[in-house]
Amino acid sequence: MRIILYTIMIATVLTVFGAYVIVSFAKSISNESNMYISEDPREIPGKRVALVLGTSKYVKGRLNLYYKYRLEGVVKLFRSRKLRGVIVSGDNRKKNYDEPTTMRNDLIHMGIPASYIKRDEKGLSTFDSIVRAKEIFGVDDYVVVSQRFQVQRALYIAHKKAHRAIGFAVKDVPESEVKQKMRYREVLARVKAFFDLNILGRESNLSLKREMVAIK
């Protein structure tokens, strides 16, 4: 009986300690990245390219506010003459689901010339989007555009890859069950990023063809 109790106690302690380490690491990414992030377009220095991280346009038949605010954010930067090119990076693996093309079409409709927008159709994850920005599109001095939580993780990856990236944090979405789930998912995503970069040595889903981003 004592052995069972000791086993339960040790398992509990290890679980609590593991949770503490994970949460502490997630917070450290926020603290390290925040100095490179702004929510004000006026604070963004002139850069070559915006890297817009993809998400679905609709969720359960409704417009996804994460999507809406990201595109509005990149348009603000473009109109402020902070940008000279845009990469829209996302997933298009499924039939009738193409994040980069959808973002590109909507940005054109919102006033950004088509010739200045490049699609990254293999940005299957934040990790892929960051690595491919340099390896495929030849840019390492860019502005990541997304909600703050994702920009923080993106910059952690970018700086580990020696990219000179900064971030533009767009408007966050209202509190909801979906947002709460995103918080939990983000913690796990940050742990995965650590393992990908420091232990597993993960490589991105690269293609052989390099592309140039149009300069305004």
pLDDT in tens, 7-35: 555 545 445 434 444 555 556 677 788 99
Strand pairing class (62-63; 58-59): antiparallel
Task: Give me the domain span that covers residue 123.
Answer: 2-200
What three-state secondary structure class fits 146? strand
Q: Is residue 210 part of a domain?
A: no
Q: Is residue 129 part of a domain?
A: yes
The CA-atom distances, in angstroms, between 169 and each of 44, 143, 177, 183 are 11, 10, 21, 16
d(CA 127, CA 203): 9
Chain centre distance of CA 87: 12
Supply angle C-alpha 95, 63, 154, rounded to 5. Answer: 75
**Amino acid identity of 122?**
K
pLDDT reported for residue 167: 97
Give the range among 21-25, 74-78, 108-112, 144-148 with minimum mean pLDDT. 21-25
Predicted confidence (pLDDT) per residue in 111-126, tens digit:
999 999 999 988 989 9
Q: Is residue 211 part of a domain?
A: no
What three-state secondary structure class fits 214? coil
Q: Is residue 6 part of a domain?
A: yes
| Neighbour order of strands in the sheet with 86-89 | 37-38, 166-170, 142-147, 49-53, 86-89, 117-120
Q: Is residue 208 part of a domain?
A: no
At 85, which CATH number?
Answer: 3.40.50
pLDDT reported for residue 41: 93
Q: Is residue 179 part of a domain?
A: yes
Q: What is the mean pLDDT of the chain?
A: 84
Q: Is residue 207 part of a domain?
A: no
When divided into structural domains, the chain yields a total of 1
CB 206 within 8 A of CB 124: no
CB 143 within 8 A of CB 167: yes
Q: Is residue 48 part of a domain?
A: yes
pLDDT reported for residue 48: 79
pTM, full prediction: 0.84
Mean pLDDT of 122-140: 92
